[in-house]
Each structure stands twice: as structure tokens, then as C-alpha cells.
Amino acid sequence: MSIIVQKFGGSSVADAECIKRVANRVVETKRKGHQVVTVVSAMGDSTDHLIDLAKQVSKNPSVREMDMLLSTGEQVSISLLAMAIHALGEPVISLTGPQAGIKTDGVFSKARIMDITSSRLEKELDEGKIVIVAGFQGITIDNDITTLGRGGSDTTAVALAAALKAEICEIYTDVDGVYTTDPRLVKNAKKLNTITYDEMLELASLGAQVLQPRSVEFGKIHKVKIHVRSSFNHEEGTIVQEVSDMENDIVVSGVAFDKKSVRFTVYDVPDRPGVAKDIFKTLADKSINVDMIVQISREGSLNDITFTLDRDQMEEALRVMKEVIVKIGAKDVTCDDDVAKVSIVGAGMITNFGVAADMFDALAEEKINIELISTSEIKISVLVRKDQCEKAVRKLIDKFDLAEDSIKSIE
């Protein structure tokens, strides 16, 4: 019997009615003759509410206790979903991440799955039960509960699909699939029937929230077929797989944007070997992830170094950088969070020249100033002022022909 892993995000289990609808959908899949493992996120915005609560009791909550707290959100939804499925007459059991055998490293708040011991899951499936697993969580070798970073239930689902050699991993969400850009921003963005793992990984890493980047990485490594689709209808969504039907004729597949980028500039950095190492190794040692990096040569023996990172790490990075500038003898460091990163992604860029020129041309037409540029084989990112982000995305959707003719409605 084939195994199907289904994941339902927070908006799909936001209230009792939603949970009952998900229960019906899960039972429907089981009754078609599949073994079903269902991963769920916390209800609606409950993870955000838990984070707010923590901030009310402590300015700087311990990361271990944060994971202890946040993991409870998913435990609420698994038990409620199991009750709703039970009420429909199907055998079912809910399991937390640890009970499902999900072992992680010890990096609280962004732990990585190291291993899945699937014996309990297999036993329950063999007994004919639907198994509901709490997303976003696991357990360390020392028995501490961890969480996998925001959006981590996607990764739980894909990792379980890999461990159980499932036929498919279905990610049910509040949009009909993966679009050429966020359909909430551009109402006539086009839905993609297929997308490659590489393109999806870039889009997700560059700000498209629809899948957690780590889940796509997992999918690619373990060749898990991922189907992103709506939990509110039965339309086909988007298949994430190795080769995309569109790969050959489409140069740019999508536009991503990230309003959480922060720009750091270090002024008057002495021009000698080892300074870049001092800056970026110190940041890396604190698990601060740096993104775009540009060094601007000035006259004499001084440079300015500019880079971007995520706003969540801004305060810590600033603290670290204030110490680093003293060590390397730089003049000053500033940070600016009034910026956004806008990126175009497409596997077809490798073989098509002039895509960057087309992108810059489009932005120039809108009089949008580009502050930083970074490229890889299949993406080009630019940093712009935050208030120009939406204009830039719309223009690029237009320029690369990524809009649908008719405007759809979104739940």
C-alpha cells in the first residue's frame, strides 16, 4: 500500500471548522486505499501569539525554553485533528515530533533533522491507523525538545516522506500552489504547474514563504515529489521535482522579495589580508547568516565593506560588529533596515544572456535605484529602498511576462 504524507499549515487548521475540513480530507485519502501520515502546524497565528507571550515575561527569553513553549502549538492541533478524525470513524493516533522519532541537532530555534527512527510510525500505519505528527519539532540526543525554524512543518513533512519512502508529500496551504510571485501582492501572478527543486530552493530562500527552504533541500536530496496545493479546493497545485516542463522555454520562473533584509556598512576598513575573515568568521561563529557582500575600494589603503543579513539577527550582528571594528581598526559600522531584496529566479538564466540587463533596464524605467547586486547561476538579486519593493516586483512580473491574463480570487 502506498504511503502519502500530507501537511496542513496554520491557516488550514485555524479553527474547529477548518480542523473538521482537514479531517475529512485526510479520511478521504485513507479511504482511497493509502496509508496516510498527516503533519500539522499550530492553529492560525498561535505561534506568533506564543512568541508575544514570551516577550511579555522576558526581554531575552532562553532559546531552550522558547522551543519548549513553541512546540506546544503543534501539540494542540495534532490532538484536535486526531479527535476530529476519530469522530469520522477512522482509527487514528497523534504523535509529537519526539514520539514520531524525529532526532535533531541541538541548535534551539533552528534545529536540523539528523535522523528519523520510523519504527513507531510504521507500527501504527501497519495497524491501519492514520498517523498525525506535530510539525516543526524534534528531540536532541539529550532529550531536549527543539524546533526547526519558522515554517518548519514543511520540513517535518518532507523528511517524513523521505524516511517512509512515501509516494508523494502533499503540502496543503492557503493558496493554490507556487506562483510566479506572492499572489497576495500581485493578484494576477501566474500559477506554475511544475518547478524544479533548484528554482524552488532559490525562491524559498529569497523570501517566498510558501515552503521552508530546508524542506526543498530535503526533497532534492531524497528525491521526494512535493505537491503544493490548496486545502480549500481540489485543484491540482504545483509539483516540485527535478525537471520542470517549463524549464526549456521559460527564462525567469519567478520573482521573490524579502522585506526583512538589513544592510550593514563598515567604513574605512584597512586594506590588508585577513580583515574580511575577521568580519565574516566572527559573524559565522555566532551563527549569523550573511547574504550579499560588496567591497568598495576607496583611495589610499581603505575600503568600505557592505553586506546584508536578516533583521532578526540585526541587534546581535551590530553588537558583534562594534567589537570587530575595534579589532580590525575600521572607522565605523552602520545598519539600515529600510531596504528590501528583490530577486528573479529561473533555471533558464544559465543559457540566456542579457537577463540581468533586462532586469536593470526594467527597474531603471521605474526610476528604482539599485543599491547592491548579487547573482548566482539561476538568480539575480538587487537591494532597493523598502518603499520601492512592490513597484519593483510588479514591474519585473510584467517585464518577464509572468502575469496571468485574468485576476483570480484568493481565500
8 A C-beta contact, residue 119 and residue 72: no
Of 104, 83, 88, whose CA–CA distance to 40 is shortest?
83
Q: Out of 36, 178, 305, 325, name the contact with ligand ADP by CB under 6 A.
A: 178
Q: Is 207 in the site for ligand ASP (CB under 6 A)?
A: no
Alpha-carbon distances of 332 from 14, 288, 306, 387, rounded to whole Å: 47, 20, 12, 26
Q: Out of 98, 101, 151, 219, name the contact with ligand ADP by CB under 6 A.
A: 151
Find cell 572607522 and name the residue. 331
Q: Is 202 in the site for ligand ADP (CB under 6 A)?
A: no
Nearer to ligand ADP, 304 or 390 (CB): 390
C-alpha cell at 66: 522558547
Binding region for Mg ion (CB under 5 A) out of 7-15, 233-241, 245-253, 267-275: 7-15
Sheet containing 3-8: which strands, arranged edge to edge?
92-95, 130-134, 35-40, 3-8, 168-173, 226-230, 238-241, 194-196
Q: Is 188 in the site for ligand ADP (CB under 6 A)?
A: no
Partner touching 264 among Mg ion, ligand ASP, ligand ADP, none, CB below 5 to 8 Å by kind: none
Min dist CB 78 to ligand ADP, Å, is 15
Q: Is 136 in the site for ligand ADP (CB under 6 A)?
A: no
Nearer to ligand ASP, 203 or 347 (CB): 203
Residue 365 CB partners (closer than 8 Å, separation 6+): 395
Q: Out of 5, 42, 116, 283, name the contact with ligand ASP by CB under 6 A.
A: 42
Site string for Mg ion, 138-167 (x = CB under 5 A): -------------x----------------
* Buried-exposed string 188-208: b where 16+ CB fall within 10 A, e elsewhere: bbbbbebbbbbbbbbbbbbbb
Binding region for Mg ion (CB under 5 A) out of 1-9, 137-145, 356-364, 395-403: 1-9
Nearer to ligand ASP, 150 or 386 (CB): 150
- Whether the CA torsion 96, 99, 102, 107 is positive or negative: it is positive
Q: Out of 41, 104, 308, 388, name the contact with ligand ASP by CB under 6 A.
A: 41
C-alpha cell at 188: 494576477
Q: Is 9 in the site for ligand ADP (CB under 6 A)?
A: yes
Partner touching 150 among ligand ADP, Mg ion, ligand ASP, none, CB below 5 to 8 Å by kind: ligand ASP
Min dist CB 297 to ligand ASP, Å, is 42
φ, ψ of residue 39 in degrees (nearest 5): -105, 135
Sheet containing 339-345: which strands, arranged edge to edge?
254-258, 339-345, 379-385, 372-376
Site string for ligand ASP, 153-192 (x = CB under 6 A): xx--------------------------------------
Q: How far apart are the first and last CA of the chain?
A: 34
8 A C-beta contact, residue 111 and residue 98: no
8 A C-beta contact, residue 147 and residue 136: yes
Q: Is 116 in the site for ligand ADP (CB under 6 A)?
A: no
Q: Is 261 in the site for ligand ASP (CB under 6 A)?
A: no
Min dist CB 208 to ligand ADP, Å, is 4
Nearer to Mg ion, 210 or 396 (CB): 210
Of 163, 306, 177, whose CA–CA distance to 232 is shortest?
177
Min dist CB 399 to ligand ADP, Å, is 17
Interacting residues with ligand ASP (CB under 6 A): 9-10, 41-42, 47, 73, 135-136, 150-154
